[in-house]
């Protein structure tokens, strides 16, 4: 009888404990996202409203980010946002690496070769940046005058460019490949539409991270998102697929980038 009662209690409590654990992780990631958005906002304030570039190619002679040993961070590590935003976060990568990502990063930081930690710190922050439409992506569609002539003002380069700062997504919970497996966290997220739809219709955890542009709705179907006005929220599947959250130009959920001339 006692064993039967214990079995019933375990069956009742385990789902509740699982939900509590997931909720604690969500709260932790929301806290990280708020600090991340604070650093991102401070960067813009220090650069006359110019926002951090999502993915950047450095030009010859341009100063490079500096690692903890005082050495310039090389390409492509310096192209990803973590090392470029780090000075506005006190180089505290704990802000960018929440939950299970944090001990994984510490594991790499404890290795004898400091370059391994420098590399790892750039790859799997808990939240990826909406590089194409906020700040710019020098790989996908560089925000240069020629691109603006062809596609209009597709990319917000300054905080004042945002038509609805509370609606424009800067960061989202992400997942990506690392060391031969999929981990929670990636430095970049891609929108559901670009020239055409590029996400699968429904999120399936068994699919590769690219199926949903590295976005990961890991909290009961929601992803933590940092918005351009600085606030943080948890978006559901429908909201995450609405291009009006991704692009300043979008005027409908299934909007895609079109040539204007």
The yes-or-no verdict on residue 181 having pLDDT over 60 is: yes
For residues 109-138, give the mean pLDDT. Answer: 95
Residue, of 91 and 186, whose pLDDT is higher: 186
For residues 169-180, give the mean pLDDT. Answer: 94
For residues 212-224, give the mean pLDDT. Answer: 97
**Closest alpha carbon to 242 in 232, 233, 230, 251:** 251
Q: What is the 3-state secondary structure (H, E, C) of the chain?
A: CHHHHHHHHHHHHHHHHHHHHHHHHHHHHHHHHHHHHHHHHHHHHHCCCECCCCECCCCCCCCCCECCCCCECCCCHHHCHHHHHHHHHCCCCCCCCCCCHHHHHHHHHCCCCHHHHHHHHHHCCCEEECCCCECCECCCECCCHHHHHHHCCCCECEHHHCCCCCCCEEEEEEEEEECCEEEECCCECCCCECCCECCCCCCCCCCCHHHHCCECCCECCEEEEEECCCCEEEECHHHHCCHHHCCCCCCCCCCCCCCCC
When pLDDT is cut at 50, 70 and 90, the band that residue 201 belongs to is very high
The yes-or-no verdict on residue 21 having pLDDT over 90 is: no
Using CA atoms, how far residue 85 sits from 5, 122, 242, in Å, is 53, 11, 27
For residues 22-44, give the mean pLDDT. Answer: 95
| pLDDT above 70: percentage of residues in the chain | 92
The yes-or-no verdict on residue 2 having pLDDT over 90 is: no
Question: 66-114, pLDDT tens digit by residue?
Answer: 998 899 999 999 999 999 999 999 988 989 999 999 998 999 989 999 9
pTM of the model: 0.91
Q: CB burial class (10 A; 0-12, 13-18, 19+) of residue 222?
A: middle
When pLDDT is cut at 50, 70 and 90, the band that residue 17 belongs to is very low
For residues 31-41, give the mean pLDDT. Answer: 97
Across the chain, what does the average pLDDT equal?
A: 92
When pLDDT is cut at 50, 70 and 90, the band that residue 244 belongs to is very high
The yes-or-no verdict on residue 12 having pLDDT over 60 is: no
């Amino acid at each position: 009888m006692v064993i039967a009662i214990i079995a019933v209690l375990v069956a009742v409590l385990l789902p509740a404990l699982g939900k509590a654990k997931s909720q604690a992780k969500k709260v932790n990631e929301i806290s990280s996202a708020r600090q991340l958005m604070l650093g991102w906002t401070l960067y813009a304030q220090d650069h006359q409203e110019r926002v951090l570039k999502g993915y950047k190619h450095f030009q010859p002679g341009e100063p490079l980010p500096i690692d903890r040993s005082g050495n310039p961070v090389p390409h492509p590590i310096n192209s990803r946002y973590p090392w470029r935003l780090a000075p506005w976060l006190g180089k505290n990568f704990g802000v960018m690496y929440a939950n299970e990502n944090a001990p994984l990063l510490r594991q790499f930081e404890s290795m004898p070769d400091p370059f391994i930690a420098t590399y790892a710190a750039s790859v799997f922050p808990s939240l990826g940046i909406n590089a194409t439409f906020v700040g710019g992506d020098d790989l996908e569609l560089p925000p240069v005058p020629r691109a603006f002539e062809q596609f209009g003002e597709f990319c917000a380069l300054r905080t004042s460019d945002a038509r609805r700062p509370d609606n424009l997504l800067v960061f989202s919970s992400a997942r990506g490949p690392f060391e031969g497996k999929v981990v929670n966290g990636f430095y970049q997220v891609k929108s559901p539409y670009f020239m055409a739809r590029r996400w699968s219709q429904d999120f399936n955890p068994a699919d590769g991270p690219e199926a949903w542009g590295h976005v990961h709705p890991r909290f009961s179907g929601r992803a933590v998102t940092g918005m351009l006005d600085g606030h943080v929220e948890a978006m559901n599947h429908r909201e995450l697929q609405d291009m009006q959250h991704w692009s300043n130009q979008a005027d409908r959920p299934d909007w895609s980038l079109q040539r204007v001339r």
